């Protein structure tokens, strides 16, 4: 579950609850009805109970979700 989204100095950071040892991928889309979500950065391996990933702020609205990788 995403716990917070922050924007600082042109960078957006998304933080979510995690299970230690699990691999996650942050995804984004400008439209909730879109079936082609785009990966943000590389997959992240959780070393704690929270994980963060981010990118430069873009123009317009962006929706984020987190996918647990196999």
Q: pLDDT tens, 13-66?
A: 999 999 999 999 999 999 998 899 999 999 999 999 999 999 999 888 899 999
The structural domains of the chain, with segments of one domain joined by +, span 2-69
CATH T-level topology, domain 2-69: Immunoglobulin-like (2.60.40)
What distances in angstroms separate CA 65 from CA 9, 18, 30, one per listed residue? Answer: 22, 13, 12
pLDDT at 59: 80
Which pTM was predicted? Answer: 0.90
């Amino acid at each position: 579950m995403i716990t917070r989204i922050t924007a600082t100095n042109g960078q957006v950071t998304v933080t979510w609850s995690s299970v230690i040892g699990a691999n996650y991928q942050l995804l984004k889309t400008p439209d909730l009805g879109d079936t082609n979500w785009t990966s943000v950065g590389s997959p992240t391996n959780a070393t704690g109970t929270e994980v963060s990933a981010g990118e430069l702020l873009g123009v317009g609205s962006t929706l984020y979700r987190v996918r647990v990788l196999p």
